Structure 1
């Protein structure tokens, strides 16, 4: 039997599990769809992760510690409740944090603010006395500005405003209608209200395509999104989080340079001296590092 530590990164779209030996050798590295994760109760979430873990590890490995970074655990209280339900199922030392809390440890940095701009958006940091602080993560209906779903929501608003003004020449209009498979703007609201946040986020590349085609509306949407992400960081800094650096992750900000540039520029204004890094390691590595610290505590 081989002792292993394991970490889950449960995002809005994908769930990734990685398990390693004490020497750092990967034993398991698997990915599944997250499905309707946020709609599950804590017992259902815990049972799902425990079942995935048991099936993945099989009979040849002995779990000694587990860390979970979970989308939808947006407060210390929510993390504690989920951990309380999960711990008896795995019967080893375990911890549950928001998935954005994996970003800084995954980068190998000791301190900083983790920022995710993927399907949604959230920032997480810690004060000098170890208190975890959260900003954003409200979901696509109320927030998630700078995430994929938020970008599409704001792009739709920009297009509908242009329609009301009789302005139909901005490239964003054609790009968004093509993505939504609509003949005109009249059906935008109905089409979006029947889609999931993940589907919305899948349409986000059209905003950047329109930007490349010279869309003033798309440029405004992207610049506004970058500033909203920077506001999340300033909120945490104002509350005492260590803000010497931000480590950014998530498919939108990592793969769309205009958004990263807009965020970096806005952050320079709002939190002078805060450095921006883009995570180059999988966030699940942060979960493994947290699990390893539990195993050696």
Structure 2
């Protein structure tokens, strides 16, 4: 077969972010609104990785013309104080989206915080209402989780057929594995979900036209497991020494897969691009005077 194409999430996301910026500017000019889109971000604790993620999202907001309002809370902050801030963002008409930076301290009930966010401002796509709408046929959530949405967007940008194809998803997390499986199923793929207790994973992966790996194990997927010509989306972020690597043995996949995402520079940039798109979508609903339609 021909060589493996390395799919650049960095390049695709840059294109999308430029489109979002242009769209925001166009809406503001057309409607003459004085309010730009607003994203409220809440971070609890002092984890350096979480702060870096929040800063990266803030930079993306500045780039596309979204107003970011960050609220940083100490590790010892009570759950009631966090809920108070969520409710304040819910009530603020200039805030179009709310993002809770994970993880939260063990002293805070993550479920209670997520459930408190209005589904119409849940730009992370984690609220049970949005997850339920995604799971049901002929229904659509206000928002879908950003990483799964970014994965499907990459497949579309690369013109990878989804309908009728076999997609194997490794991992069943609420952030990636479960929602990406539901998204691919809505696009008429035959989805096989694998997890830590799945037997004969290699046999299942060999059937896949599309492999999405989000299991968090470095170099877990070997090249010899892949079906020639398949497309590999590597969501894994793992460290071997000082090197960031994915779940898939990248070098072994070259020459077997028709296309693969690198780590870093693959799925990661797409996640932030989809967050920006979700905030923009919420903004357009606000300007139009509608909260959006959860059914189609």
Q: TM-score, normalised on structure 1?
A: 0.37
Higher strand share: 1
Higher helix share: 1
Q: TM-score, normalised on structure 2?
A: 0.37
